[in-house]
Every structure is written in C-alpha cells, then in structure tokens.
C-alpha cells in the first residue's frame, strides 16, 4: 500500500449549448459520485460546444495542476460534438483502453448505439482527463464501472492514483 492521500481534487466540465446548473444532471451525477467517494470538487463549469473555449478551460486546469478532469458531453458524431477534437491535442499520452472499455461496458446498456460515442482519455502534464458522453447513464457507467476504482488508491492490482507521483517522471 502507498502513503498517497486517496482524496483527489477533481474538476467537472459539462459541454452543452443548452444545459444550465439547474438542468445539468450529468455534471451533478459526477459531482455527487466523486464527493461520495471522498474526493474534492476542484471546480465545476458548463461551457458551450466550442472547441477553443473547451481547450482553454482544460488547459487552465492543467496549468493549475488539477489532478483529474472529468468532461461530460460533446463526444458524439454530430456537427456540434467537438470535445474529443478540442481536448485530444492537449494529451501528452492517450489512454486508449478507457474508450474501448467504456464502449464495451455501454454495450450491455445501449447495445450498438455505443459506437456513436467517442469517449476518450489521456494524460496532459500530470492531469488525467476523461471525456464522457453527456447522458446521465453514461456518466454513471463511466464512474461506477471504471473511474471509481481507478481513482481509488486501495483498488488492486493497480490504479491511477498510486502511479500519479511517477506520471511526470522523465
């Protein structure tokens, strides 16, 4: 076991042209789950589907060394869905297994519609970034079946938290 504090600061970004704090069920779902797991909300924001606004906000969190960023929305294939396009240029390393695992788990819930998701994850400097679909169900699936364990220092055989001090090693 490691001596790393298991509580992480996590930022949540909802990408939507229509959601407000009152109607943002997906963002609220993520905030509720991360705080229930003992993590701290670093910041929560809602931005329109604009790749430059999204990239600037996430780049700011990276510069502030927020350890984890969860983004919900904008991962589909319509013209307004720009989250992966906005965020992937910020990645130093992609985590391809995240999107693959997310779509595999989603298949049990939404069948072949899961192929419409461009859920991705990556590492930028020392910040882990996860881009999730905008539905509340997708956020529950991602948190409950992947992120909850990978952001828990006690999860074995391995997790993201225990390698965080070494992420920046050259």
Tell me, what CATH number does 59's domain have? 3.40.980.10
Residue 3 belongs to a domain: no
| Tokens linked to 167 | 């992420």
Residue 2 belongs to a domain: no
Residues 6+ apart with CB under 8 A from 53: 47
pLDDT of residue 166: 66
| Tokens linked to 143 | 């948190």
pLDDT of residue 4: 47
Residue 109 belongs to a domain: yes
pLDDT of residue 165: 75
Q: Kindly report the backbone phi and psi dihedral angles of residue 86, in degrees, each rounded to the nearest multiple of 5, phi listed first.
A: -75, -40
Looking at the structure of the chain, the number of domains it has is 1
Residue 114 belongs to a domain: yes
Q: Which residues of the chain have pLDDT under 50?
A: 1-4, 170
Residue 102 belongs to a domain: yes
pLDDT of residue 1: 41
**pTM for this one?**
0.94
pLDDT of residue 168: 59
Residue 4 belongs to a domain: no
pLDDT of residue 164: 85
| Tokens linked to 112 | 């072949």
pLDDT of residue 163: 87
Q: DSSP assignment, residue 165?
A: H
**Contact of 153 with 162, CB cutoff 8 Å:** yes
pLDDT of residue 169: 53
Residue 1 belongs to a domain: no
Residue 44 belongs to a domain: yes
Q: Which domain holds residue 85?
A: 9-167
Nearest-5° Cα angle at 163, 117 to 128: 35
Cis peptide before 2 (omega within 30 of 0): no
């Amino acid at each position: 076991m490691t001596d790393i504090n298991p509580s992480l600061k996590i930022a949540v970004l909802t990408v939507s042209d229509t959601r407000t704090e009152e109607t943002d069920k997906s963002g609220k779902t993520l905030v509720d789950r991360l705080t229930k797991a003992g993590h701290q909300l670093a910041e929560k924001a809602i931005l329109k589907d604009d790749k430059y606004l999204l990239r600037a906000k996430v780049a700011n969190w990276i510069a502030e060394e927020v350890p984890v960023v969860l983004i919900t929305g904008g991962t589909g294939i319509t013209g307004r869905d720009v989250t992966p396009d906005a965020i992937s240029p910020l990645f130093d390393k992609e985590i391809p297994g995240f999107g693959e695992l997310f779509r595999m788990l989603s298949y049990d819930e939404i069948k072949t519609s899961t192929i419409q998701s461009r859920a991705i994850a990556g590492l930028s400097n020392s910040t882990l970034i996860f881009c999730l679909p905008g539905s509340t169900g997708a956020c529950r699936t991602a948190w409950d079946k992947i992120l909850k364990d990978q952001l828990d220092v006690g999860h074995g055989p391995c997790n993201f938290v225990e390698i965080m001090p070494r992420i920046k090693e050259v």
